[in-house]
Amino acid sequence: MKQTRRKFINSSIVITTGVILQSCEGKEITTNKELSKNIPIVVSTWKNEGANNAAWEVLSKNGKSIDAVEAGARIPEGDPADQSVGYGGRPDRDGNVTLDACIMNHLGGCGAVTYLQHIKHPISVARKVMEETPHVMLSGDGALQFALAQGFSKENLLTEASKKEYEEWLVKAEYKPKVNIELHDTIGIIGIDSDGNLSGACTTSGLAYKMAGRIGDSPIIGAGLYVDNEIGAAVATGMGELVMRSVGSFLVVELMRQGMSPFEACKEAVMRIVRKQDITDIQVGYIALDKNGNFGAYSVKPDFVFTVSDQSGIKIHDSESYETK
């Protein structure tokens, strides 16, 4: 008899699942096997306690992963001290703050905005694109008009601190982003809820002093973020051009599908970049989460950290990297 039962023990950490085997006569045989799952869990790029705490607040109350990752991404977006995301983000070389973001749910639904100006929370606009339109991505003025129609407020996102830095940059106007500073750009956040459903969010103001109109990997489904509820999720941070050329987050998830652990998959995706692209003065980092709540990360250069929240608490982890100190 086919049996599938789920038992939540210790606030959903262990799930007992009926495993269905196929006998040689083609009949289904079911065995009960204990699969240890570390859920709920949320993982984000960089040192990101605020984002994780907001996401954990949702997950710890049996909320949905899509609500958790959106709530998490909104924290750095609204924080003027975070100059790589949302309000207070560093501008492009014309002095305009332009934001990219995307979001993906456990059903494969996704929404994205690119080159969005004047809206503090692009991740929430991306979610509206996913839920309220037949499209996946809106860009520029169209994205702004859609956001305003959805009730978002138009604001000046260029803070005095970012304006001052930009004016100092203008003196030489050299485009040499500093690794892990101007390249410390993207907040990616991936999580699993207590129903075992995965979601992800990715938000950025992109590279500081980028060319006007430049879009990075962060709003591109498959590059900056990918979620497959059967397998896992991955998100990227760093120099978007290298991530886009290798369709990085989709690659990480597909490598997990082929049997790699989250760490192995992130490492192989970084090695594809290292083998084929110029990695002088660039950083790229990936974080990944499999369906069972195992996580991993890998980066091109050292000093990439990521933040994990689960039943055991919140912890900042150092990522292993291709280059070492």
State the residues that interact with ligand GLY by CB under 6 A: 185-186, 204, 206-207, 216-218, 237-240
For ligand GLY, the closer of residues 111 and 224 by Cβ is 224
Q: Measured from the CB of residue 27, what is the shortest distance to ligand GLY in angstroms?
A: 50
Are 55 and 75 a contacting pair, CB within 8 Å?
no
Helix (H, G, I), strand (E, B) or coil at 42: strand
Which pairing describes strands 305-310 and 313-318: parallel, antiparallel, or unpaired? antiparallel
Residue type, 154: K
Which of these, 121, 61, 45, lies nearest to 85 by C-alpha position? 121
Q: How far apart are CA 87 and CA 122, in angstroms?
A: 10
For ligand GLY, the closer of residues 182 and 310 by Cβ is 182
Q: Measured from the CB of residue 241, what is the shortest distance to ligand GLY in angstroms?
A: 7
Q: How far apart are CA 49 and CA 221, in angstroms?
A: 25
Q: Measured from the CB of residue 268, what is the shortest distance to ligand GLY in angstroms?
A: 19
Which of these, 119, 103, 87, lies nearest to 221 by C-alpha position? 103
Q: Measured from the CB of residue 237, what is the shortest distance to ligand GLY in angstroms?
A: 6
For ligand GLY, the closer of residues 126 and 239 by Cβ is 239
Q: One of 186, 203, 204, 307 is an active-site residue; which one? A: 186
For ligand GLY, the closer of residues 105 and 237 by Cβ is 237
Per the annotation, the verdict on 186 as an active-site residue is yes
Handedness of CA 76, 81, 85, 88 (dihedral sign): positive
For ligand GLY, the closer of residues 177 and 191 by Cβ is 177
Q: How far apart are CA 144 and CA 114, in angstroms?
A: 10
Q: Measured from the CB of residue 283, what is the shortest distance to ligand GLY in angstroms?
A: 10
Q: How far apart are CA 254 and CA 203, in angstroms?
A: 22
Catalogue the active-site residues: 186
